[in-house]
Structure 1
Amino acid sequence: MTRPRILVVGAGFAGVECVRRLERRLSPGEADITLVTPVSYQLYLPLLPQVASGVLTPQSIALSLRRSTKYRTRIIPGGAIGVDLRAKVCVIRTITDRVVDEPYDYIVLAPGSVTRTFDIPGLVDHAFGLKTLAEAAYIRDHVISQLDLADASDDPAERAARLQFVVVGGGYAGTETAACLQRLTHAAVQRYPRLDQSLIKWHLIDIAPKLMPELGDKLGRSAQEYLRRRGVEISLGVSVSRAGPEQVVLTDGRVVPTHTLIWTAGVVASPLIATLGADTVKGRLAVTAEMTLPGYDGVFALGDSAAVPDLDKGDGAVCPPTAQHATRQGRQAADNLIAALRGRPMRPYRHRDLGLVVDLGGKDAVARPLGLELHGLPAQVVTRGYHLAAMRTNVAKTRVATNWLLNAVAGDDFVRTGFQSRRPATLKDSEYVHAYLTPEQVREYVAREHSGRP
């Protein structure tokens, strides 16, 4: 008899934790495990703003999937662009643009999410996202290049526009991005004697009435106070109505001359979910508390793309798309898959909230570990301690801690690498949302490719 084929889609928190659990708890002869991912590392997303600001090196938060000597999972370098749940076939576009199909007996869908955009004129053509290492590296180069260009310019209007920066999104990603990059430009401008520091302006914009409402009113106000003290202009209840190469028009009528628009206004489930033809909840796949897909055998879904019921909250609530949930769901999904493989009962997913942490750079932070509200240096200690504990390899922990220490002692550096200076990295260029197939195209492809097979 052939071994069962387990296919895991996505190498985020959910997918990687699931694979690691399967490797530890399944014997080599019990099943074949395959992982579909365009990159052979797990990206520690919460620290991406610190890569964009140069506090951390990109390698320090890219945790290699092949570092373990016991790693036996087969990796297909590419992205899933469609799944035929009836035929049990996943359609994959490799990093060389070759389309292949991968049959499976069990599939774990953890494709993550993409940046949520709206039908705003010019947005995808001129805004930068912050969900990948490439985007973080590009943003760092871009921000420093704006300082260089402003310093070289004798046109006051151009200089003012290049020194204004707009970040949209008042959640964790947007707030930390604005905070970290503001510290970078504040430190950098001291190296540019021709630039007036008062011209550097950071704008943090969100359509919501509060900044990071999950933190509560007290910590939310503390975060706003830290940012405003540094000169970050916070506009709530406002969004972007139009984006251009040299200006951003806000919904309240203001026009902000700028060459930098960073868009972090939330995420939506991967477009892969739409290829399944299955029921969804606000775009996320509707699954049971055991993270199985009703009506389909051997299908598990978790993480940002699955609406996993939050049994502790009840009333139809689903778990939010956070790293905490994705990590724990990955372990539970692996246990449930093994239970299904061995004919044992599965367990529903339940969680205990560990709290929230927000790193605003330097000694500034806010945190709520296990319900205790902290801000300032104590919150920073808790925040960085949490990140170190959450990283799964000692090598990554050492690299991050060393980067933090070096930055604290030696300060920032303002090197612009230039390796992406001639390549655009806007939302249109970075997220391949048009690469996915429709449910009909998936079925047609699978029927055509498998028509002559026994």
Structure 2
Amino acid sequence: MSTPRILIVGGGFAGLECAYRLERRLTAREAEITMVSEQNHQLYLPLLPQVAAGKLTAQSIAVSLRRLLRRTTLVPGRAVGVDPAAKAVVVRTIDEQVRALRYDYLVLAPGSVTRQFDIPGVAEHAIGMKTLAEAAYLRDHVIGQLDLAAATDDPEERAARLRFVVVGGGYAGSETAAYVQRLTSRAAKRYPGLDASEIRCHLVDLAPKLMPELGDALGRKAVRVLERRGVEMSLGVSVASATEGSVTLTDGRTLPCRTLVWTAGVAPSPLIATLDAETERGRLVTRADLTVPGFDGVYALGDAASVPDLATGADAVCAPTAQHATRQGKAAAMNVLSAIRGFPGADYRHRDLGLVVDLGGAQAVARPLGVPLSGIVAQGVTTAYHLMALRTLTARSRAVGGWLLNALAGDDYVRIGLQAEQESTLDHFESRKGYLSRAEVRELTDR
């Protein structure tokens, strides 16, 4: 019999954990493991705002896949179609070559993209916070706006360049707003012609409360921290349209603005639409053991999967969080291992350990194991959680070194210019296009 082929799509929290566990449990003779990933690193998303603010370098939160995976074949590219009947995945490699990879067991963990809601102007003018490139671009862009504001005599242009609008009142949006405010207020001290009081950081969210998952008490504390920093809140409204120089809200206000950061939720990877499978809000419906009904040997997990949350019950599904993705990766590995060795799989069950929100400096809010914390204690818990979640000692060392260096030496607020002549749209940074229709997938896999 030929050696079983395990194909993992995605090198994020779920995909990396699955491959890592399979390598530890399976011998080279028992299975061939292949991973498809555009990047050769796992991105630790919760620390992206700190990269945008210059508190950490990009390398500090990019965990090398090759440092952790020793036997897995890494295919540098993006899965653009799945043909379960042929047991094949179509991949477009980073040099634009298209090839079909065969599998016996398929683990789908392609992650998510930023949700846009088809609002006029957002796709063209908003900056996301899902990739390292977006965080690096945002930093360059924000510092560029300060440079241009300091050099103009036009008060209207100056006001627009000094207003920074962040859309999305969840963890990502709140942390991004906190760190953009931190970056701009500190950088303004280096500009003789700028006053930090001229800078406007604006947080917009359709929900009536900021981060409702925190609970009312912690949510109010988070709001107070941001407001003391000077972050303006617009809750219960959203964006109606955006242009290069303004943002119009659904309550009729038009804000002069040259920086729109979009963190208003995520949508599953477009790869899921290439399968003729049941979905829930775009996420692939799975059984409790992470298998996809009707598809032999296919498992789905992470942001792109709707997995029953047995720990919560009441027909709940697991939230698209790093915690669930990591633990689903481990569970999927064990179930694939069981299938190869002829044993039944186990259902996925995990109770959420809590949440942490870094608001910059010594400020944070956290709810570890249901215990509400704020201030310096919460910041300590938040820092410890991030260090624990970073997968390698090298990554942890870089993070600690970055924090210490930033605390001691500060920042020089330089623009690196890597994206100066590049597109800066959400579609460009997050690879939303180029996915195949089912007919195109079948044509390629039938060859």
Q: TM-score range, shorter-chain basis?
A: over 0.9
Q: Contact between 1:13 and 1:327, CA under 8 Å: does it hold in 2?
A: yes
Q: Which residue of 2 aligns with 1:25?
A: 25
Q: Give the number of equivalent residue pairs.
A: 447
Q: Secondary structure at the match of 2:355?
A: strand
Q: Secondary structure at the match of 2:328?
A: helix
| 1:321 CA drift (Å) | 0.2
Q: Which residue of 1 aligns with 2:56?
A: 56
Q: Contact between 2:285 and 2:305, CA under 8 Å: does it hold in 1?
A: yes
Q: Which residue of 2 aligns with 1:404?
A: 403
Q: Which residue of 1 aligns with 2:130?
A: 131
CA offset digits 1:231-260 (Å, max 9, x no partner): 100110111101000111111011110110
Q: Which residue of 1 aligns with 2:352?
A: 353
Q: Which residue of 1 aligns with 2:175?
A: 176
Amino acid corresponding to residue 274 of structure 2 in structure 1 = T
Aligned-residue Cα RMSD (Å) equals: 0.9
Q: Which residue of 2 aligns with 1:107?
A: 106
Amino acid corresponding to residue 100 of structure 1 in structure 2 = R
Q: Secondary structure at the match of 1:355?
A: coil
Matches within 5 A, 1:276-425: 276-425=275-424
Give the TM-score, by structure 2 length: 0.99
Amino acid corresponding to residue 102 of structure 2 in structure 1 = P
Q: Secondary structure at the match of 1:66?
A: helix
| 1:410 CA drift (Å) | 2.0
Q: Secondary structure at the match of 1:14?
A: helix
Alpha-carbon distance in 2 for matches of 1:426, 1:84:
30
Q: Which residue of 1 aligns with 2:159?
A: 160
| 1:432 CA drift (Å) | 2.3
Q: Which residue of 2 aligns with 1:42?
A: 42
Q: Contact between 1:184 and 1:412, CA under 8 Å: does it hold in 2?
A: no
Alpha-carbon distance in 1 for matches of 2:331, 2:390:
18
Q: Secondary structure at the match of 2:370?
A: coil
Q: Which residue of 1 aligns with 2:117?
A: 118
Amino acid corresponding to residue 300 of structure 2 in structure 1 = A
Q: Contact between 1:54 and 1:413, CA under 8 Å: does it hold in 2?
A: no
Alpha-carbon distance in 1 for matches of 2:355, 2:373:
10
Amino acid corresponding to residue 30 of structure 1 in structure 2 = E
| 1:196 CA drift (Å) | 2.2
CA offset digits 1:161-185 (Å, max 9, x no partner): 1000000000000000000110011
Q: Secondary structure at the match of 1:403?
A: helix
Alpha-carbon distance in 1 for matches of 2:397, 2:90:
38
Q: Secondary structure at the match of 1:39?
A: coil
Query: What percent identity do the matched residue pairs reach?
Result: 64
Matches within 5 A, 1:103-252: 103-252=102-251
Q: Secondary structure at the match of 2:66?
A: coil
Alpha-carbon distance in 2 for matches of 1:64, 1:46:
17
Q: Secondary structure at the match of 1:67?
A: helix
| 1:405 CA drift (Å) | 1.3
Q: Secondary structure at the match of 1:337?
A: helix
CA offset digits 1:147-203 (Å, max 9, x no partner): 000011111111111000000000000000000110011101011110122210000
Q: Contact between 2:427 and 2:433, CA under 8 Å: does it hold in 1?
A: no
| 1:76 CA drift (Å) | 0.6
Q: Secondary structure at the match of 2:201?
A: strand
CA offset digits 1:208-249 (Å, max 9, x no partner): 111111111111111100000011001101111010001111
Alpha-carbon distance in 1 for matches of 2:58, 2:208:
34
| 1:420 CA drift (Å) | 1.4
Give the TM-score, by structure 1 length: 0.97
